Amino acid sequence: MKEYYYYLWCTTWPYLVVLFLVIVFLFGRLLYQARNTWRYERDAWGLIVLSGRTFIYIGTGLIYVYMLLFPQRDWLATPAVFEGVIEKVEPAAEWGYYLEVRDGKELRTFQIKTQTGGQLEIGDRIELEYLPYTGQVIKGEVAD
């Protein structure tokens, strides 16, 4: 499990840093607006405007959370495990290799890194731990 979240952190840290900065900025603006309302506009209209701004900031924050974390749904899932026999290993320009593994009737395609893909052979029995939504392999072990 530790390897799973470490791999997710290594691949998604830019998204999480941007999300953190956006939330800090929105929270800072909200505190600044609350301070100004408390100091200069401490009446019913000032509190109504502040509550409206609060809803807008919360809505904006939720939209950013949705935009930046929805493509990274693997943070909310547990790692999946698949065991089978390698049927095809083909190079892919953007990631490394595509790996097709069959377990009985089910055939699945996974993405693996370049270093690992060059060492695998067709017919090897392999157990893969992978990200359930993106299909990227975190850990793979070749069985004897």
pLDDT in tens, 129-139: 888 887 788 88
Q: In the prediction, which pLDDT does 31 show? A: 94
Q: Which helix (H) or strand (E) holds 103?
A: strand 97-103
Axis crossing angle, helix 2-40 with helix 44-69, rounded to the nearest 10: 160
Q: Which domain holds residue 114?
A: 80-143
Please check whether residues 130 and 115 belong to one and the same domain.
Answer: yes
Number of domains in the chain: 2
State whether 56 and 118 are in the same domain.
Answer: no
Q: How confident is the model at residue 118 (pLDDT cuts 50, 70, 90)?
A: low
Above pLDDT 70, what percent of the chain? 95
> What pTM was computed for the model?
0.63
Query: What is the distance between the alpha carbons of residues 110 and 51, in angstroms, rounded to a whole number?
Result: 48
Q: Is the pLDDT of residue 39 over 70?
A: yes
Report the C-alpha gap between 144 and 140 in whole angstroms: 13
Alpha carbons 80 and 66: distance in angstroms, whole number: 23
Region 52-69: what's the mean pLDDT? 89
